[in-house]
Structure 1
Amino acid sequence: MNKLIQVKTKKTIPPVPQWRGSLPEPSDTTEPVDYFRHLFHIEIIEEVVRQTNLYALQRDVSRPLNVTVAEMEQFIGVCFYMSIHVLVEMVASTMSLNRWENIKRNLHFADNNNQVPGGDKLFKVRPLLDFLNDSFRGIPMDEMLCVDEQMVPFKGKSQLKQYIPMKPKRWGYKIFILADQHGIVYNFDVYTGSIQPCPGFPDISASGNIVQGRLAGCTFMDDQAMKAKGRGTHEEKMASHNGVNLFAVKWFDNRPVTLLSTFVAAKPTTQVLRWDKKKKEVVHVSRPNVVAVYNKSMGGVDLLDSLIALYRTKIRSKKWYQRIVFHMLDLTLVQAWLLYRGDCQSQMPENVQLPLLDFKIQVAKCLCMENKVSNKRKGRPSHAVVVEKNKRGPQSFVPQDPVHRDRTDHWPVHSPEKGRCKVPGCKGIVRSRCSKCAVFLCFTAERNCFVDFHKA
């Protein structure tokens, strides 16, 4: 900010402007995988496939990888499975270990021949980051937004690795995230060691350059003086710049905090409850209005962090950039779930909405099965596959619509056991089942539920 701005004490109560924006009406809910593909769309996967095959040839022209879009989706689906279960039958039947390791080893997003020495430090993942940023910017913004730091846990060797002692995960990559109070991300920027200021603005460190917000020449009561006056003490200053009023407030609670706003000031104040260690009782503390508004909307990135940490993809790799890649997959999945929850609010009660765990499982199943030919494993069966206990359990899983209607590799097979047909309304007990969907379906002269079940 310009040092010639006049700063003065402000005690009047400015009117809080009404938000003039609006969010579109929630759309009809679709399959979980559709929300994920809307953000991580086919153009991203096609580019990853192209660069991965190119990198494999650059390493050894005699050993082409020839990975396809379908295999890359299977690879992502397996990664999601591995964030939930260590070993599951779906992983073993989707892709062999050697094939999965080979894809991970060659996973690439940019041509190494185009890398400039001393250039972009995120060159290897820049296309992926740009693709996702473009997807996130297309989401309609809510009113309450916040910018905060996010840590991607990583302890390997990388010049981009940061150490922040106050974070739960102290070592890792730092990302600046713009999100709303629900955790939906609209923009992000991976920290690479320096963030240049916007043209025409002074350099006020990385955090200040990300969000322009510093008032030069504005002085407040020192911390000790505020502490002597007691908790709830606040001081307010105001300045104008280019016709915009800026309200700076310093408030002392357990420790001092300073806030700068363009639309809300200190008054009206409210009373909040705090525990007093000396008095051993709960006391009332005065809180400025700007603090109340800030607290209402500042937790979006923290909420996002907690959701990602629930089922984080923990795949080890010596390549520094793959930790960023797997984090971005997890972030996109959580983003898709939050958008799904937003569409569900006005259409179904909360108790029937999919929790994050079930949502991620359904996305993983669809990525592994839709439009994919069954993987015929050779040799003896693996003993690492989890074997179900021989007891009566829940009903067999019925695949999502995109899977059982993809018209790919569905074959009727005879089963030594009987089961109830899975077509709604049919009560037939049969021995025929689908080789891909693994559900019982009538396939007789009287009823052909097999065809009805797989119709698009």
Structure 2
Amino acid sequence: MDEEEVASTSSSSKPPSKKKRRMGKNSLKTVSLAELQDTPEPSPPDGKEGRRRLWRHEDIEAFQVPDSSFNVPDAVKTPFHYFKMLFTDEMIEHISEQTNLYAAQELGDPISTSPEEIEKFLAMLLFMGVFSFPAIDDYWCIESRFSVIADIMPRRRFKLLCRYLHFNDNQQCDGSPDRFYKIRPLFDMLRQQCLLISSTYQHSVDEVMVAYKGTRAGSLRQYIANKPDKWGFKLFCRASSSGIIHDFLLYQGASTFFNVALTEQEEALLLGAKLVTTLCKTITLPRLSVVFCDNLFTSFDLVQNLQENLGIRCIGTVRPNRMGGATLKTDKELMKEGRGAFDFMSAEGLLAVKWFDNKCVSLLSSACGITSLSSFLCQTVEQRGQSKGRCPVPITHPCLQSAYRRH
């Protein structure tokens, strides 16, 4: 045997080093929601959907959204009536029943609360949210007694209700994938009431934070830096241009869509696209509606899926890696042309636009094009050497950008 062969066999028979063995082990990688959203669109499979899109320098037809009409009420009702439109008697009875059940499971004897007492308890919580004291006991103390709250219910009874307040049966939650199991019945009843409210034809989908700074929610508590309430529970909501939320979905990680029926095409979408599709399925008149969303949700597949499968038009800002392959001018080319410069292309009834203002903004649209260009006055600082005051400068912008800013 040659010396080279002996050397090769001896080296191959040596056990791998500790460093190599460590690298070969399976390691768990934590991926944040932001990283998932930065991933490009999945490539379509071979066949009809795998054909390359033909982008043209053409505009698309504008979609005229009909005006919304609402029946004028005979008289303005009391705030309590509007509150009961969302927080119904059925919900209060459910809270009373589940609270008694939980107390019986823990103490062996129900605390015998009633829907009337639960209503008083909720009224006290609303008052405490407006008139905040350092401690709960301060509302009943002689020195700081607040009669509006203290006269409704004794302190010990209030604390007893706080201790055993419940919304669902703990003994029925074994094996449930729902991480919000304890509040799910109340959440679903509130959602059904919101769906009954008449909406306009312009809808906006975005994320909303329910403030919570406690530590008992584990990973259900989220953090978003650019929100007024940075810590809390994350909801994805669909609101209309009337300012009312009509549908919402609790975010709970991988099990967010545990009770949502998704098609194979919808399963292949990114997380943001699946959220918008799920919330838009409850729109009453989809073929007359337009949905607006930001670049956390928008992609070419989302806009196309909404139009083809649900009949809903969409306008949204989009990240460059989700524009479906549109080859627009680079940021440097638009910056050389100055503020208000833009480029556009269309394919399969969808329009991709890149527009430069303070920085470049990309948009996708199936509802509105770039026609009927308009200009708005933007306050900008004059060049050096001149006065340091501000002067209005007209900035040209495409029509779809104006519609996006408005809704």
Question: TM-score normalised to the size of structure 1?
Answer: 0.59
Equivalence for 1:106: 164
Equivalence for 1:55: 102
Equivalence for 1:17: 64
CA distance in 2, matches of 1:219, 1:83: 53
1:208 partner amino acid: A
Percent of matched pairs sharing the same residue: 30
Equivalence for 1:152: 210
1:210 and 2:275 correspond: yes
Stretches (4+) displaced over 6 A: none
CA distance in 1, matches of 2:194, 2:101: 28
Counterparts in 2 of 1:150 and 1:289: CA distance versus 1, 3 Å = same
Equivalence for 1:384: none
1:189 and 2:237 correspond: no
Counterparts in 2 of 1:48 and 1:4: CA distance versus 1, 3 Å = farther
Matched residue count: 292
Counterparts in 2 of 1:227 and 1:100: CA distance versus 1, 3 Å = farther
CA distance in 2, matches of 1:56, 1:117: 23
1:33 and 2:80 correspond: yes
Equivalence for 1:163: 223
CA distance in 1, matches of 2:124, 2:335: 55
1:220 and 2:328 correspond: yes
1:201 and 2:247 correspond: no
CA distance in 2, matches of 1:85, 1:238: 55
CA distance in 1, matches of 2:162, 2:67: 47
Q: CA deviation at 1:10?
A: 4.0
Q: Which string of whole-angstrom CA distances, capped at 9 and with x for unpartnered residues, describes residues 168-215 of structure 1?
A: 222211111111233211101111124559412254433222125421
CA distance in 2, matches of 1:18, 1:147: 18
Equivalence for 2:293: none
Contact 2:62 2:369 in 1 (8 A): no
Q: CA deviation at 1:47?
A: 0.9
Q: CA deviation at 1:252?
A: 2.1
Q: CA deviation at 1:101?
A: 1.6
User: In angstroms, what is the RMSD of aligned CA positions?
Assistant: 2.4
Equivalence for 1:443: none
Aligned counterpart for 1:84 among listed residues 115, 130, 134:
130
CA distance in 2, matches of 1:229, 1:202: 41
Greater relative contact order, per chain length (Cα 8 Å cut-off, separation 6+): 1
2:236 partner amino acid: F
List alignment gaps of at least 5 residues for structure 1: 298-456
Give the match's secondary structure for 1:201.
helix
Q: CA deviation at 1:45?
A: 0.9
1:72 and 2:130 correspond: no
Equivalence for 1:6: 53
TM alignment of 1:326-365, pairs within 5 A: none
Contact 1:23 1:142 in 2 (8 A): no
Aligned counterpart for 1:271 among listed residues 352, 368, 375:
375
Q: Which string of whole-angstrom CA distances, capped at 9 and with x for unpartnered residues, describes residues 136-179 of structure 1?
A: 10111112211111111222222211111222222211111111
Q: Which string of whole-angstrom CA distances, capped at 9 and with x for unpartnered residues, describes residues 1-46 of structure 1?
A: 8553634234446243242764334453222211111221111111
Question: TM-score normalised to the size of structure 2?
Answer: 0.66
CA distance in 2, matches of 1:40, 1:146: 24
Q: Which string of whole-angstrom CA distances, capped at 9 and with x for unpartnered residues, describes residues 312-339 of structure 1?
A: xxxxxxxxxxxxxxxxxxxxxxxxxxxx
Give the match's secondary structure for 2:181.
coil
Equivalence for 1:351: none
Q: Which string of whole-angstrom CA distances, capped at 9 and with x for unpartnered residues, describes residues 35-78 of structure 1?
A: 1112211111111111111111111114x211110011111111
Contact 2:59 2:351 in 1 (8 A): no
Equivalence for 2:91: 44
CA distance in 2, matches of 1:3, 1:155: 47
CA distance in 1, matches of 2:335, 2:83: 50
CA distance in 2, matches of 1:156, 1:236: 47
Aligned counterpart for 1:256 among listed residues 337, 360, 364:
360
Counterparts in 2 of 1:161 and 1:220: CA distance versus 1, 3 Å = farther
Contact 2:65 2:201 in 1 (8 A): no
CA distance in 2, matches of 1:198, 1:102: 43
1:272 partner amino acid: F
Counterparts in 2 of 1:57 and 1:262: CA distance versus 1, 3 Å = same
List alignment gaps of at least 5 residues for structure 2: 1-43, 133-138, 140-145, 278-297, 301-323, 384-389
CA distance in 2, matches of 1:209, 1:281: 44
Equivalence for 2:177: 119
Give the match's secondary structure for 1:129.
helix
Contact 2:213 2:232 in 1 (8 A): yes
Equivalence for 1:230: 338
Q: Which string of whole-angstrom CA distances, capped at 9 and with x for unpartnered residues, describes residues 270-327 of structure 1?
A: 1112233463543211121111111212xxxxxxxxxxxxxxxxxxxxxxxxxxxxxx
1:201 partner amino acid: E
Aligned counterpart for 2:154 among listed residues 96, 100, 111:
96
